[in-house]
Structure 1
């Protein structure tokens, strides 16, 4: 079974449907590449997927240990290459976690974060700068 189906919607936009749930997402080319920037660009989705995967993987471990991560947030910043082919050169991810986590809990969650499937799937030349804040 397919994961998603998609269609080109014109004007540098696509609409994808998640087969299992029926939810949809739209993409738009970024302003600096002929688009309107009115939706996630495909490279925005890659960057956001990295942050979402890291937090999801950490949450799986947290649930196993009954640690509450519901206040966890993340922010991503994508940096495109300025030379050579257009590609994502660096993704900065800042993850904010509860200050109440013990040092041993933090160590485990940070280790897990660096082994999420998206992290391991991205090309090694893509710089992944992951920062953890505890508030």
Structure 2
């Protein structure tokens, strides 16, 4: 009997029953399309890496995931405290490791709060934003399995 239910990756961490799925399909050369809940994104590589530069790289999307998660949590904090979100910005930069394996070596995220943010709310904004889901995941990495379909 074949099961379509995902099997747990391990027993070290609690397993969620809320499974999120997405699919990546090759388009051409180094361009791929990602379908997420009916939304379509593309990834590509810059010309110097063999791509056509039609979209961000997967690594750039990785950094963007952290930045947008931080922005979302910061925005929710502001909203919850009746403060405007207008002017909220998050800047992110990353560097790649110079030794193997290929990976991001460092990420820096800077939150630019709205100009009207009272001084007494700055620490709270930083505390909430720095506990976003993506940041938490980086600090407690998930068990990951990469496998070939039968």
Equivalent residue, structure 2, for 1:45: 61
Q: Distance in 2 between matches of 1:37 and 1:93?
A: 24
Match of 2:97 in 1: 81
The 3-state SS of whatever aligns with 1:90 is strand
Aligned in 2, Cα 1:121/1:8: closer, same or farther, shift over 3 Å?
same
Which residue number corresponds to residue 90 of structure 1? Answer: 106
**Higher normalized strand content (fraction of residues):** 1
Q: Work out which of the two has the higher radius of gyration on C-alpha atoms and give 1 or 2.
A: 2
CA drift at 1:32: 4.6
Q: Which deviates the most, 32-41 or 101-110?
A: 32-41
Residue 5 in structure 1 maps to residue 26 in structure 2: no
Q: Is the counterpart of residue 121 in structure 1 residue 121 in structure 2?
A: no
- The gaps in structure 2 that reach 5 residues or longer are 1-18, 141-150
Matched with 1:61 is 77
| Total equivalences in the alignment | 122
Q: Which runs of 4+ in 1 moved over 6 A?
A: none
Q: Deviations over 1:31-89 (max 9, x none)?
A: 45332333111100010111100010111121111111121112222211111111111
Superposed CA RMSD in Å reads: 1.9
What is the aligned partner in structure 1 of residue 34 from structure 2? Answer: 16
The answer to whether structure 1 residue 99 and structure 2 residue 135 are counterparts is no
